[in-house]
Amino acid sequence: VSKLAGCTVTDWAARNVIDEHPYYYELIIENKEGMDLSGYAEEAHRILCEVNPRYMYFTAIDGMGNLRIRNQKPGTHKEWADALVASGRPVTQVKSVTIIDTPEKEDFFLCRITD
């Protein structure tokens, strides 16, 4: 997506959206330029189909919806890491978030979506 858009992706995270039918994956992208990347969802979906036959199968039979892309406010991932360190977590224990899999992460990251 970054190559197609000509921007610098600084961080990203993904989540399963299961409260809609069909469920789908959502890719939340933070880029240095603050560009709107939601228009690249179709290309990202095509690439996922090429590299992941199971994804292609389930989207083809309408078992799941196509990937969606959302835009993240620049600096969000750094803000998350800084908050963890400020709360007492050792910096060596702070890992990059790539999967939004807890309510805490969902609350933090979803309120910083810009679209």
With beta carbons less than 8 A apart as the criterion, state whether 26 and 70 touch: yes
Contacts of 93 (CB under 8 A, 6+ apart): 84
Taking phi first (over 0 means left), then psi (-120 to 50 degrees means alpha), and beta for anything else, what does residue 65 get?
A: beta
Q: Is the pLDDT of residue 21 over 90?
A: no
Query: What digits encode the pLDDT tens for the residues 27-76?
Result: 999 999 999 999 999 999 999 999 999 999 999 998 899 999 999 999 99
